[in-house]
Amino acid sequence: MGVLLVAGLALGVLATEPRVAAGESGASAPASPPRVLALEVLPYGPPRERLLRDGACRACDLRGADLRGAHLIGVDLREADLRGADLSAANLEGADLSAARLEGARLRGATLTNATLAATDLRHADLSDAVVIHAYAPGVQVEGLRIAGADLTGSHLIIGGEDVDGPPPLPPLP
């Protein structure tokens, strides 16, 4: 195992096969340089730049980030901390925000079509005028959520284990 360094930055962890030097058990040739078997690239850079560059920032701390109007189509933001972030008019189509913390986030006019919002914390978030068509959102936390003018067409919203399709039917008349 070793660390890949470029310009002093740790970019990855190298897995190498062990070297066997001449004279050691089973060795018949002089020691050769280790051969790289795998390279695990480590994320580097500030979380906002990683998100915009790589399209993924799982479990990142993006509290208060300014992502207004960002094109974040299909990004992986699972377990990300986006409390207080401004995602107004951002395009999050197909994004995975499972278990993300969006408490108090501004998503006014954002596009979340086909997004995954499973177990996402949306308490006190503002989704006014957002497009949330066909989103999958079981187990979301919605206390204080603002959704005036939002389009939730075809979204699968489950709060507290219950499907939310509208008010319960009225009881039959006596």
pLDDT along the chain (174 residues), means of 10: 39 46 54 49 66 86 93 94 97 96 98 96 96 92 93 79 51 70
Q: Where are the domains of the chain?
A: 1-20+36-45, 46-169
The CATH superfamily holding the domain 46-169 is E3 ubiquitin-protein ligase SopA (2.160.20.80)
- Determine the pLDDT at residue 48: 82
- Determine the pLDDT at residue 53: 82
- Determine the pLDDT at residue 104: 98
| Phi-psi group of 17: left, alpha or beta (phi > 0 → left; psi -120 to 50 → alpha; rest → beta) | beta
Residue length of the chain: 174
What is the spatial distance between Cα 126 and Cα 41, in angstroms, rounded to a whole number? 36
> In the block, which residue shows the tokens 């040739």?
29
Tell me the two tokens of residue 78: 């699972």
